Chain A
């Protein structure tokens, strides 16, 4: 059957036009493929890990819908978790566990002047096809000249990454940490994610 004639002139209609809010790329929460693949691999390898562990840092947040762009993977665990994780991920290990104390790049913003933030943990490092994994055991935080805090403890929440169930540090704990450090931009990002998730406030 021949096609109907193709018109070549515009024809305005009197039909309401719905507003279309096409998101910008920066508005979308999408984890990069290399980190995604590394996360799946780690989740599978630590599937039967008996020690408490969870994905922390930006990777833990983006998997909960927070609009951040992680450049590596972070695992938080306790002192017992470090050797067990090291054993399970041995073939990917590039730095063995040792007690490390260092100042992080961003200061606390809770007073009239910025305060340096230090962390201390049993730290080991791994490499998954070029993707960095940092493991922190018994992570403590120190702000300015204050006392060192207790080792970070938490009850993990779980997310599913292409079907692999992985623990993540709860957003509620991250919010408390950021509030304590005065990082309100990070608090706002978590708030945006929890608002999108509606009742499921982290």
Chain B
């Protein structure tokens, strides 16, 4: 006998309730549509859940009490299609898997808050590269390159960027005029600045700024430093939905071991920016602790008619709706589509080096290559350089070593793109500042003090109040999509309910390493000019090929929206071809590749892909409104019987 619980049908069903679903749910609820948001974790109340409990380092760092429960669902990882993929069975470093998130707000509950728009070049990388360096340039870097342009240009996306930044209190360039128009050429393609001023600069940020201001970039122009872009509110803020936002209090206790949990709600995520307005509207129902396991298709197979999920007690619910928006973490979205028979699965033919299908195609990474080329040095700040505060902001960055802002034609080995170079971010911001290198562990031969206990704390005392700081970078150029990297269903391992988990096949690609070799020397020059001593450049390593179970937190892509119907979804509305009801916005880059993930090299900007995905959620919300309008005008009943 069936025990399926039937839920009443609604206009829009949001799958997952992170950044992207937050926008869609709020936009549609405020437009008078009935919306349900379903998420596998709880609603995190930052006052009660974080403010008083995040100082529990054991519970947070080892017990992983804020994190996605691996016994519920894990993933498997391998470097190439000939390997056997092994599952992630445990957390082995402080930020591993935080990015997957668990509950309302999703991965954004546990990120550093580094943000920044993708400029025009990133949206048209394929065509602009071909135009500048010839059509064979990308394949000369990697014969299996699979890079394509986005379906829209930056100019088309910009209004959505503005809306997304207004909603999430993004800080950066801000000149205070009523129009807040760009006051310099640091963002030559931005028609408006960010809505909040930047965070106060750290001493290291000031040193970086003053240094590069007197230097010439590889393109022969002066460097153009600008404040790092942050998703942590620098001031009290109210967004366009009327949701009020607390500012960062710079307490300096929100780094790795605290899971980046923000106890004042200053760090942007859906739970404290968009979802409150949706709840307040009376048109939104939030379903927490609910694990979505299948999308149900119509008998003809061309419509999604319901989402099926387990509640916390294991009961099955069936949630019908008119439109389904998938805002899950990137490869969870792919997995759900594969489990549901939705779309054409990507199949890689290792013998031919070719691939067919779209779902799972083009997995990329927005994170520092493991054991990549690096440069380090010691900078004398000349005073207290304690970078108290949050995981982003406080630093300065330059755009001049990014995108195609310098000539790539005579560089060997070849690469395209570059890196956003920055320095001086606050605690938790990564290289150049204090980090919990080594994670939570007991004493070992490599780390005799371990990373907890009195001996460890004694070593940290000097780290927090230094007059000298070790700064370093492990730069890399954008990880371009290749036919070899993809996501599919694992044939061996299952989740707690018996469904296959996702299998990630990934290794870093030539563009990342080739770019690193060039960028590391540019950064070395900057460090030298900053007066750094003991500047050392590490050697380039070959692509890393061993099981490495902490990759998952910044792998992205795997589902293209593009103009090629054979390789991506051919609509500019982000709807999957043939399934007009399913609006897709992966949480870490709706794009097929990671052009938006041109990660910076001396700070933490690995979450900037979220900034690039954000506009897609507004685009999708607009498309859903049009779709619902169409349904109403045509009198079509798409609801399940």
Which residues from chain A sit less than 8 Å from chain B, CB to CB?
1-4, 6-13, 15-25, 28-33, 35-36, 44, 47, 62-65, 157-165, 195-200
Contacts and interface: CB of A to CB of B under 8 A. Distances in A.
B51 A198 contact: yes
A22 B340 CA distance: 29
Contact of A8 (B3, B45, B345): B3
B339 A63 contact: no
Interface class of chain A by DSSP: loop
A63 B236 contact: yes
Contact of B195 (A62, A158, A163): A163
A4 B47 contact: no
B289 A18 contact: yes
B236 A20 contact: no
A22 B314 contact: no
Given A1-B341, A18-B289, A196-B265, A9 B239 contact: no
Nearest 6 A/B pairs, CB to CB: A3-B341, A163-B195, A20-B42, A31-B242, A12-B314, A159-B236
Given A21-B48, A31-B244, A64 B103 contact: no
Contacts of A13: 72, 314, 496-497
B41 interface: yes
Interface in B241-293: 241-247, 249, 251, 263-265, 276-277, 279-280, 282, 286, 288-289, 293
A48 B39 CA distance: 46
B249 A198 contact: yes
B382 interface: no
Interface in B487-508: 496-497, 499-500
A10 B316 contact: yes
A47 to B, nearest CB: 5
Given A30-B242, A161-B238, A20 B296 contact: no
17 contacts: A3-B340, A4-B500, A7-B316, A10-B315, A10-B316, A11-B497, A18-B41, A22-B104, A29-B243, A30-B277, A31-B242, A33-B242, A36-B238, A158-B235, A160-B196, A198-B263, A200-B247
Interface in B300-319: 308, 310, 312-316
A35 to B, nearest CB: 8
Nearest to A168: B236
Contacts of A164: 178
Nearest to A35: B242
A30 B243 contact: yes
A162 B240 contact: yes
A157 B241 CA distance: 22
The interface centre, meaning the residue of A20, A30, A164 with most chain B CB atoms within 10 A of its CB, is A20
Given A160-B195, A163-B195, A1 B345 contact: yes
Contacts of B538: none
B187 interface: no
B239 A162 contact: yes
B297 interface: yes
Contact of B499 (A4, A16, A30): A4
B43 interface: yes
B176 interface: yes
Contacts of B12: none
A160 B237 contact: yes
Interface residues of B, number: 73
Nearest to B46: A196
B264 A197 contact: yes
A22 B238 contact: no
Contact of A9 (B2, B69, B104, B345): B2
B362 to A, nearest CB: 18
A160 B72 contact: no
B42 A18 contact: yes
Given A10-B313, A15-B72, A25 B282 contact: yes
Contact of B244 (A4, A6, A65): A65
A24 B284 CA distance: 12
Given A15-B72, A23-B45, A30-B280, A3 B339 contact: yes
Contacts of A199: 249, 251
Contacts of B249: 197-200
A2 B195 CA distance: 47
B41 A63 contact: no
A3 B297 contact: yes
Nearest to B297: A3
B310 A11 contact: yes
B280 A160 contact: no
A23 B289 contact: no
A64 to B, nearest CB: 6
A12 B244 contact: no
B180 interface: yes
Contacts of A31: 238, 242, 244
Contacts of A19: 42
B483 to A, nearest CB: 19
Given A8-B2, A10-B316, A17 B289 contact: yes
A15 B71 contact: yes
Interface string B314-332: 1110000000000000000
Interface in B43-70: 43, 45-49, 51, 69
Contact of A198 (B72, B251, B286): B251
A29 B244 contact: yes
Nearest to A166: B238
A196 B180 contact: no
In the complex, which of the residues A28, A47, A157, A165 has the most CB atoms of chain B within 10 Å of its own CB atom?
A28
Contacts of B13: none
Nearest to B246: A197
Contacts of B48: 21
A17 B312 contact: yes
Given A36-B242, A198-B249, A25 B279 contact: yes
Contact of B279 (A1, A17, A28): A28
B166 interface: yes
Nearest to A24: B279
A30 B274 CA distance: 10
A140 B391 CA distance: 45
B175 to A, nearest CB: 11
A7 B3 CA distance: 10
Contacts of A12: 313-314
B338 interface: yes
A146 to B, nearest CB: 34
A19 to B, nearest CB: 6
Given A65-B246, A196-B265, A1 B338 contact: yes
Interface string B187-229: 0000000111000000000000000000000000000000000
A22 B286 contact: yes
B66 to A, nearest CB: 9
B240 A36 contact: yes
A192 to B, nearest CB: 9
A48 B329 CA distance: 45
B294 interface: yes
Contacts of A36: 238, 240, 242
A3 B305 CA distance: 14
Given A11-B497, A160-B237, A198-B251, 10 more contacts: A1-B341, A4-B499, A8-B4, A11-B310, A12-B314, A18-B41, A20-B41, A28-B280, A30-B244, A35-B242
Contact of A4 (B240, B245, B315, B339): B339
Nearest to B306: A6
Nearest to B39: A20
A30 B276 contact: yes
Given A160-B235, A160-B238, A197-B264, A21 B43 contact: yes
Nearest to A161: B238
Nearest to B284: A25
